A and B are shown apart, each in its own frame.
Chain A
Amino acid sequence: MRLLSGDARDALLTPLGDAGRSEEVARRLGSAIALGLIEDGEQLPSESQLAATLNVSTVTLRDALADLRQRGLVETRRGRGGGSFVRMSQAALAALSRERLGEIGVSDLRELGDLHAMAAGTAARLAAERASATELARLRDLAARMGDARDATDLHRLEGRYYIEMAAAAQSARLTRLEIEIQGDLAQVMWRLRPDRSAGSVAAERAAVVEAVARHDGDRARALTEAQVAEDTRLLIEDHITMTRSTAS
């Protein structure tokens, strides 16, 4: 099944506020690629259509596309059947996320982590009361597949989907939409696979939450989720500090 579609896709491709800088456009499109909203090989809408969707001028959009082309994330073919096509590149996504992580402040990362802990923690607690057998099976499957993730992008996609499915299992459309938005923000900074965070350990941690949900132990499901989000946030902040210090020196 598609990771996200319909309005989820719209949520990330919403009109940009104020200046609508081309860097921001490039980043948005980058997170959409990282989350699987735009897939490898998919053709982007026409420049005028995409500029209108994002509410930026075609000049700004062209700059962003030129940037993405240079990074190797977009390929433009001329002639019949031509247009701009997405190219999935681990290295380019990692570079984009490193830049973003360098720019963003510690307090922004902390707030994103706080909001995520709240949304994901509450979702896990409510799912322990409300998840059906089908929903539990889906969550178990996602947790297991995280252990077999091929690369960083694959792992983050599965994680994103795990959190979104958990919110859906809580029977809350609002929590689900909030989680989709948070995953869009996280996708801008989380494309690296950390050596201290193997796919196997991530999978085991998520599986423990799913088992707490299955036992209707809402308190434990929430506590585990909050601890996991807090640890992920701490690692992101550590990355940010390391990166900023190495750039400064």
Chain B
Amino acid sequence: MTTTQAPDPALAISEAIEGIFATVAEVRRVTLARHAAATAAGRRFADEDVRALAPAYVDLLRAPGEVAVGLGIILEPGTLADHPLRLEWWQWSPQRDAPVPLEVDLHPDSVGFYDYAAAEWFAVPRRTRSRHVAGPYVDVHGTDGYMLTFTLPMEVDGRFLGVAGADVLVTRFESVVLGRLGSHAVLANEEGRVVVSTSSRWITGCLLPDDELPPAVPLPRLPWALVEAPA
């Protein structure tokens, strides 16, 4: 006998999220493997190690069906022997047919200094040592896109090395989960900002008024909650 199951929004969302975090976990895995190899060879993790990882990141980004538009690592200041600050981030660019590296200014004295250690997607996983999703936000400093940034902390023997992460366009995330949300389902982040919703009253980017809404169901291990919006 077949029965029509009501869609489970929490399940749809967690499946989408686990898929993205699987890619981020792979970024972390290849990075930590390289780190371990450097340590085994008796030397400190260095710029050449990070550069050698780029092809692996590009391959992940080019994999068929990959949801992320950008991915890579951002290192805790002082991790490398030869570069106090370092990130290795590759992304699809609208004008180009292959991923390109993100170029930012890492000179602390410069007006254009890209102070990544202060960014939410870096600071939160460093503090909590657990995974995080930042956004939706307009990524003025990287891609100009409307973005969600998924990050995982990288640790060796309890020492924080930085984060591995992936950028996912809000539209892309929506297309992955929208069809599986029930009617009047609203997914909001910790600021009460709507991530995706099936209610035309509470749409992506809106801030939910904290006084008017029914209680939200928090999602496991994420700063997100599901709300059943009034019809």
The chain A residues found within 8 Å of chain B, CB to CB, are 1-8, 10, 36, 39, 129-130, 132-134, 157, 164-165, 167-168, 171-173, 176-177, 180
Contact = CB atoms under 8 A, between A and B. Distances in A.
Interface stretch (B3-11, B108-116, B148-156, B176-184): B108-116
A162 to B, nearest CB: 12
A161 B126 CA distance: 28
Given A130-B205, A130-B207, A4 B95 contact: no
B144 A180 contact: yes
B137 A39 contact: no
A212 B137 CA distance: 21
A173 B147 CA distance: 9
A8 to B, nearest CB: 6
Contacts of B205: 130, 171-172
B142 A5 contact: yes
B111 to A, nearest CB: 6
Contact of A6 (B136, B143, B193): B143
A6 B112 contact: no
Contacts, number: 83
B113 A2 contact: yes
Interface in B113-132: 113-115, 120
Interface stretch (B46-54, B98-106, B212-220): B98-106
B191 interface: yes
Interface of B is mostly: loop
Contacts of B112: 1-3, 5, 36, 39
Contact of A5 (B114, B115, B193): B114
A207 to B, nearest CB: 20
Contact of B93 (A1, A10, A134, A168): A10
Given A39-B111, A171-B205, A7 B143 contact: yes
21 contacts: A1-B113, A1-B114, A5-B102, A5-B105, A5-B141, A7-B93, A7-B143, A8-B140, A36-B112, A39-B110, A129-B206, A130-B205, A130-B206, A132-B207, A134-B191, A165-B140, A171-B136, A171-B137, A171-B205, A172-B138, A172-B146
B144 A132 contact: no
Interface of B: 91, 93-95, 102-105, 110-115, 120, 136-138, 140-146, 191, 193, 204-207
Given A10-B95, A36-B111, A5 B103 contact: yes
B190 to A, nearest CB: 10
A216 B40 CA distance: 57
A173 B145 contact: yes
A6 B138 CA distance: 13
Nearest to B111: A36
Given A2-B141, A164-B140, A168-B140, 10 more contacts: A3-B112, A4-B141, A6-B91, A6-B144, A36-B111, A36-B112, A171-B138, A171-B193, A173-B145, A177-B144
B172 to A, nearest CB: 13
Interface centre among B93, B95, B112, B114 (most CB of A within 10 A): B112
Nearest to B114: A2
B59 to A, nearest CB: 22
Contacts of B137: 168, 171
Contacts of A8: 140, 144
B110 to A, nearest CB: 6
Nearest to A164: B140
A168 to B, nearest CB: 4
Nearest to B137: A168
B138 A1 contact: no
Nearest to A126: B205
A155 to B, nearest CB: 13
Contacts of B104: 2, 5
A125 to B, nearest CB: 14
Contact of A129 (B143, B144, B207): B207
A168 B141 CA distance: 11
A6 B93 CA distance: 9
A154 to B, nearest CB: 8
A2 B144 contact: no
B103 A7 contact: no
Nearest to B106: A2
